[in-house]
Amino acid sequence: MPVGPDLAAPRPATDDLLRSVFRRHAAGVAVITAPGPGGPVGFTATSLTSVSARPPLLSFGIGTGSSSWPVVSEAEHVGVHLLGEHQEELAATFARSGADRFAAPTAWREGPKGVPVLDGVLAWLVCRAVARVPAGDHRIVLAEVLLGDPAGEGRPLLYHQGRYQGLRD
């Protein structure tokens, strides 16, 4: 018989509680990229969300302390890349602070609107940033999808319990 939640001893809302709860939430892994005056920037995101089909809108979160934030805060266009389970190292590279994210072995090229487009991903989109909404120590970027390609092969990379994982059959 399933046991119900312990309502007698809830933990107060803290950043630690939120992290603990969301470690249990499996999320797809994406890399967000943007062209910048000093070169491209990018970061790994698990906060990617489809917002609207008409018009096609999505959102993602970015910390204001992120090294990518100054460029993303000004970028007119961003790239959104859905990673495959074969791209765990790419996800780790774009999540690592201080990494040269666009150096080899990262394979990429300049795409439409000057957006860096990563090779070998399951799908990619080029979007126009339409809003940046303050949300605590983050910003929620709302972006309109302009074009993309969903034709990559493979299965999605997931993030769960602090680790990258693939889907199980």
Per-residue model confidence as pLDDT tens for the chain (169 residues):
677 777 777 888 888 888 888 888 999 999 999 999 999 999 999 999 999 999 999 999 999 999 999 999 999 999 999 999 999 999 999 999 988 999 999 999 999 999 999 999 999 999 999 999 999 999 999 999 999 999 999 999 999 999 999 988 7
Do the Cβ atoms of 33 and 118 come closer than 8 Å? yes
pLDDT at site 1: 64
Q: What are the residues facing 120 on neighbouring strands?
A: none
| 82 phi and psi angles, rounded to 5 deg | -90, 125
- C-alpha torsion angle, residues 141, 144, 148, 149 (rounded to 10): 80
Half-sphere exposure of 134 (CA within 13 A, CB side): 1
| Residue 32 and residue 41 in contact, taking contact as beta carbons nearer than 8 Å | no
- CA dist 33 and 68 (Å) reads 9
Kindly report the pTM of this predicted structure: 0.92
Q: Are 75 and 129 within 8 A, CB to CB?
A: yes
* Nearest Cα residue to 107 out of 124, 130, 129, 131: 124
Structure tokens at 16: 């630690």
Contact 66, 151 (CB under 8 A): no
Distance, in Å, from the CA atom of 30 to the CA atom of 81, rounded to the nearest integer, reads: 5
Find out whether 107 and 118 touch, Cβ atoms under 8 Å: yes
